């Protein structure tokens, strides 16, 4: 953690936040006692311990010392003001987004005329890494970050900073040391049968366990990416009274207007707590006992059956000569029942719903048609249009597309017997929408605009008030590159296939924080489909198609079907 050789007093201390408790099983209430460091509900981290500005420091050391004091500010706010003049202290506020820059930044002083100036102008030259917003969302940034500062000579020696933008400036190492990527779980607003993940960056605290930090944040609204799109089972005014742990049990004591007789609240509340703790590797494998005002509310066992994130049961499919085939464990399984299993020309961009009896949708020259995967299933055109994006299914059974010619988002619900309905999507107005894919959580939507940009949205509101909002940029390719295909792997990760003159790139992007992982390619892919860890891709060689599957090592591919295997499909996504 050394900032410069003359900042030897700035050291990193290893801190285990909070203290643990052991729960002693007895017949009745549980007795707890302090256990000290090593609490399974905590995460170890390094805490910056800054020192005040020194009389012998020049501008470079003063700026670096000030930045170190910023990194320590949430734990010790007393040091940073010592670096500021009274004027700067009166104006500066820690509130606002946290700016994250690369570790290697430069402090560049303006040329001195004769060395007698009392004000030294300097510039910090760095590179953006990210911005952590006030809602704890983490957004990667790129490009140069340059800020000017005025330093005033102190009559007693050294310098003080006379102008300072509000907010904290941290290095990438500061964030990696003190923050943790964290998944919070809320409920799908419309169906409330599915959890929706909200990925944020939470700062570890010396005053509480990480489990308590997670739960305290879970009581707050989601990040702006999911604003208006998700719900919570926690009634307003709910507070965390305590979080205690032992080898086999975690005891969470809540207070607030929680109705012990409301089973719907109970089911959602325990699911939000369990997944928000377990997916962040705190309380994993332990019984979670939830209390309300010290009284037993619910005991959640780690192996209890859950449906909240279950995407299993989704068979794989592929298209060959216009006919839909289903995949067996080791290869082709045969054609599906009904008209969808018959070879035909003019049908493309297939999509499969999920349910007891799946339905397949496909584009034609006049619109989008659907057919049930039953022996009686016939093709029926349900949305007309000559400039539609490929169809995508929602988990509620509705079919969606964007009419590029009329700039409207369309939703077709087979259950109501009516034609397609328009859904408000004001943020898409004026954009060249080329693809639209709804995630399996029924909330997030990935949209490609033009040839080079992927953005994410969310379905907000309820019923007739449903709209597509919360538009945020996810990734943009460079000039000369184009996006060939996108596919949801799970609720967090989107596969993006990029084409360029130099070859193809397949990236798996976490839509919550933009972190990207490249998937090695050997063959040129035509399309991709994914479901959890399974990734299928179509390859064409001299007009012959084959199907590949990504191996568990995420580095190599194995041929699944060769020849005559076209575009792969998974339900939803």
**Could you read off the pLDDT of 457-470 as tens digits, one per residue?**
999 998 889 999 99
d(CA 106, CA 122): 10
Segment of 5-9, 305-309, 423-427 carrying the highest mean pLDDT: 423-427
Are 392 and 487 within 8 A, CB to CB? no
Provide the b/e sequence for 322-338 (b: ≥16 CB within 10 Å): bbbbbbeeeebbeebbb
d(CA 56, CA 158): 6
| DSSP three-state, residue 166 | coil
Q: Is the peptide bond prior to 563 cis by the omega test (within 30 degrees of 0)? A: yes
Query: Per the structure block, which two tokens stand in for 141?
Result: 């940034």
**Could you read off the pLDDT of 476-503 as tens digits, one per residue?**
998 888 999 999 999 999 999 999 888 8
Give the largest CA-CA distance in the chain.
91
**Could you read off the pLDDT of 83-92 as tens digits, one per residue?**
999 999 999 9
pLDDT above 80 for 20:
no
Domains recognised in the chain with CATH numbers: 11-19+47-177 (3.10.450), 180-300 (no CATH), 338-530 (2.130.10.10)
Helices 263-278, 210-218: crossing angle, 10 deg rounding: 140
| DSSP three-state, residue 111 | coil
Give the Cβ contact number of residue 344 at 10 Å.
Answer: 13
pLDDT above 50 for 142:
yes
From 501, 508, 553, 499, select the one nearest 526 (Cα to Cα): 499
d(CA 373, CA 428): 33
Q: What is the mean pLDDT of residues 40-52?
A: 78
Place of tokens 């891709």: 537
Query: What's the confidence (pLDDT) of residue 222?
Result: 98
pLDDT above 70 for 13:
no
Sign of CA dihedral 70, 74, 75, 81: positive
Q: What is the mean pLDDT of residues 213-239?
A: 96
pLDDT above 90 for 283:
no
Are 550 and 537 within 8 A, CB to CB? yes
Query: What's the confidence (pLDDT) of residue 113?
Result: 60
**Could you read off the pLDDT of 418-445 as tens digits, one per residue?**
899 999 999 999 999 999 999 999 999 9
d(CA 272, CA 222): 13
pLDDT above 50 for 244:
yes
Are 361 and 372 within 8 A, CB to CB? no
From 491, 497, 41, 502, select the one nearest 244 (Cα to Cα): 41
d(CA 411, CA 519): 33
Q: How far is CA 318 from the centre of its chain?
A: 29
pLDDT above 60 for 258:
yes
Asked which of 8-12, 29-33, 300-304, 509-513 is least confident by mean pLDDT, the reply is 29-33
Q: What is the mean pLDDT of residues 175-194?
A: 93
Residue that wins the pLDDT comparison between 464 and 522: 522
Number of helices (H) and strands (E) in the chain: give both, helices first. Answer: 5, 42
* Burial label, 406 (beta-carbon count in 10 A; 0-12, 13-18, 19+): exposed
Q: What is the mean pLDDT of residues 207-227?
A: 95
Q: What is the mean pLDDT of residues 248-268?
A: 86
Kindly report the average pLDDT of the chain as a whole number: 88
**pLDDT-above-70 percentage for the chain:** 91
Residue that wins the pLDDT comparison between 22 and 238: 238
For 273-328, give the DSSP string.
HHHHHHTTTSSTTSEEEEEETTEEEEEE-TT----TT--TT---EEEETTEEEEE-
pLDDT above 60 for 19:
no
Provide the b/e sequence for 125-150 (b: ≥16 CB within 10 Å): ebbebbbbbebbbbbeeeeebeeebb
pLDDT above 60 for 257:
yes
Query: Per the structure block, which two tokens stand in for 374?
Result: 């039953």
Asked which of 54-63, 108-117, 132-141 is least confident by mean pLDDT, the reply is 108-117
Query: What's the confidence (pLDDT) of residue 35?
Result: 36
**Could you read off the pLDDT of 529-546 as tens digits, one per residue?**
999 999 999 999 888 899
Q: What is the mean pLDDT of residues 123-147?
A: 95
Q: How far is CA 208 from the centre of its chain?
A: 25
Q: What is the mean pLDDT of residues 167-191?
A: 94
| DSSP three-state, residue 571 | strand
pLDDT above 70 for 104:
yes
Place of tokens 């909200």: 198
């Amino acid at each position: 953690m050394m900032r410069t050789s003359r900042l030897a007093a700035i050291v990193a201390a290893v801190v285990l936040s909070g203290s643990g408790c052991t729960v002693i099983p007895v017949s009745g209430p549980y007795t707890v006692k302090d256990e000290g460091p090593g609490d399974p509900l905590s995460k170890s981290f390094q805490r910056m311990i800054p020192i005040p500005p020194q009389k012998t420091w020049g501008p470079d050391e003063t700026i670096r010392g000030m930045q170190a004091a910023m990194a320590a500010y949430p734990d010790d706010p007393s040091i940073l003001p010592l670096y500021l003049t009274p004027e700067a202290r009166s104006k500066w506020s820690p509130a606002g987004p946290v700016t994250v820059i690369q570790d290697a930044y430069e402090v560049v002083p303006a040329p001195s005329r004769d060395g007698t100036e009392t004000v030294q102008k300097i510039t910090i030259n760095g590179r953006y890494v990210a911005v952590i917003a006030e809602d704890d969302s983490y957004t990667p940034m790129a490009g140069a970050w340059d800020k000017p500062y005025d330093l005033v000579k102190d009559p007693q020696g050294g310098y003080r900073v006379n102008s300072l933008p509000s907010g904290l400036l941290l290095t990438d190492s500061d964030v990696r040391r003190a923050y943790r990527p964290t998944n919070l779980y809320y409920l799908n607003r419309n169906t409330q049968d599915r959890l929706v993940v909200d990925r944020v960056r939470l700062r570890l605290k010396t005053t509480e366990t990480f489990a308590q930090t997670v739960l305290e944040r879970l009581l707050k609204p989601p990040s702006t990416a999911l604003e208006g799109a998700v719900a919570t089972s926690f009634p307003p005014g709910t507070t965390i009274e305590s979080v205690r742990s032992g080898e086999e049990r975690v005891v969470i004591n809540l207070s607030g207007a929680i109705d012990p007789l409301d089973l719907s609240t109970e089911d959602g509340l325990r699911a939000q707590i369990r997944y928000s703790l377990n997916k962040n590797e705190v309380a994993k494998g332990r019984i979670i006992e939830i209390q309300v005002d010290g009284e037993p509310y619910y005991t959640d066992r780690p192996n209890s059956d859950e449906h909240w994130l279950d995407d299993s049961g989704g068979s794989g499919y592929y298209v060959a000569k216009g006919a839909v085939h289903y995949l067996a464990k080791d290869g082709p399984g045969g054609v599906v029942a009904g008209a969808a299993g018959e070879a035909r020309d003019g049908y493309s961009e297939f999509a499969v719903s999920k349910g007891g009896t799946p339905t397949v949708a496909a584009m034609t020259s006049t619109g989008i048609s659907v057919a049930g995967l039953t022996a009686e299933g016939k093709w029926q055109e349900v949305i007309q249009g000559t400039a539609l994006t490929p169809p995508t299914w929602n988990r509620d059974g509705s079919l969606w597309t964007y009419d590029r010619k009329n700039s409207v988002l369309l939703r077709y619900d087979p259950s109501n017997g009516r034609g397609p309905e328009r859904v408000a999507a004001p943020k898409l107005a004026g954009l060249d929408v080329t693809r639209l894919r709804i995630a399996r959580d029924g909330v997030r939507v990935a949209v490609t605009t033009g040839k080079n940009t992927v953005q994410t949205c969310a379905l907000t509101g309820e019923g007739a008030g449903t709209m597509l909002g919360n538009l945020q940029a996810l990734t943009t390719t460079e000039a000369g590159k184009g996006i060939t295909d996108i596919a949801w792997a799970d609720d967090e990760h989107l596969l993006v296939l990029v084409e360029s003159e130099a070859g193809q790139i397949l990236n798996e992007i976490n839509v919550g924080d933009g972190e990207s992982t490249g998937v090695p390619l050997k063959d040129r892919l035509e399309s991709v489909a994914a479901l959890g860890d399974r990734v299928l891709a179509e390859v064409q060689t001299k007009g012959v198609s084959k199907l590949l599957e990504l191996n568990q090592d995420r580095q190599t591919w194995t041929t699944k079907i060769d020849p005559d295997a076209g575009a792969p499909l998974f339900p939803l996504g």
